Amino acid sequence: MASRRRSPDRSGGPIRPRQVTPTPVSVLSTATGARLDLVGGADAETDVTGVTLRAQEVRPGDLFAALPGSSTHGARFADQAVAAGASAILTDPAGRAELARVLPPETAVAVLIHPTPRTVLGNVSARVYGNPSQRLKLIGITGTSGKTTTSYLIEAALLAAGHSVGLIGTVETRVNGIAQPSSLTTPEAPTLQALLAAMLEDGVDIVVMEVSSHALALGRVDGAHFAIGAFTNLSQDHLDFHQTMRAYFDAKAQLFVPSAPTHAVRAVVCVDDEWGRRMAELARRPGEAAHLQPVLVSTGPTPAHWHAGESSLEADGSSRTPFAEPDGDHELRIPLPGRYNVANGLLAVAVAHAAGVPVPTALEAVASVSVPGRLQRIDRGQPFLALVDYAHKPGAVDAVLTTLRGQSTGRVAIVIGAGGDRDTGKRPLMGEAAARGAELVVVTDDNPRTEDPGAIRAEVLAGARAVPETQRPRGAEPIREIGDRAAAIEAAIGWAKPGDIVLVAGKGHEAGQEIDGVKHPFDDREVVAHALESRVQESRAQESTPGTPDSATGDRS
Binding site residue list: 53, 143-149, 185-186, 212, 220, 422, 446-449, 506, 510
Q: Tell me the pairing of strands 137-142 and 178-181.
A: unpaired
| Long-range CB pairs of 104-110, under 8 A, 24+ apart, other chains included | 104/79, 106/40, 107/39, 107/40, 107/79, 107/82, 108/39, 108/40, 108/41, 108/42, 109/39, 109/40, 109/42, 109/82, 110/25, 110/36, 110/37, 110/38, 110/39, 110/42, 110/43, 110/44, 110/46
What is the H or E stretch that residue 329 is in?
Answer: strand 328-334
**Distance from C-alpha of 279 to C-alpha of 252, rounded to nearest angstrom:** 9
Question: CA dihedral in degrees (105, 111, 115, 120; nearest 10)?
Answer: -150
How many CA within 13 A on the CB side of residue 83?
9
State the alpha helices, DSSP H only, in 10-72. 25-32
**Distance from C-alpha of 343 to C-alpha of 349, rounded to nearest angstrom:** 10
Residue 495 burial by Cβ neighbours in a 10 Å radius (0-12, 13-18, 19+): middle
Nearest to 416 by CA among 384, 460, 379: 460
How many CA within 13 A on the CB side of residue 92?
13
Please count the other Cβ atoms lying within 10 Å of the Cβ belonging to residue 286: 6
Give 199-214 as a DSSP string.
HHHTT--EEEEE--HH
Question: Which residue ranges are tagged as binding site for ATP?
Answer: 143-149
**Distance from C-alpha of 238 to C-alpha of 426, rounded to nearest angstrom:** 9
Beta bridge partners of 37: 111
Written as one letter, the residue type at 428 is P
Written as one letter, the residue type at 250 is D
Residue 69 burial by Cβ neighbours in a 10 Å radius (0-12, 13-18, 19+): exposed
Rounded CA Rg of the chain: 26
Residue 187 burial by Cβ neighbours in a 10 Å radius (0-12, 13-18, 19+): buried
Helices 189-201 + 118-128 axis angle, to 10? 20
Question: Which residue ranges are tagged as binding site for meso-2,6-diaminopimelate?
Answer: 422, 446-449, 506, 510
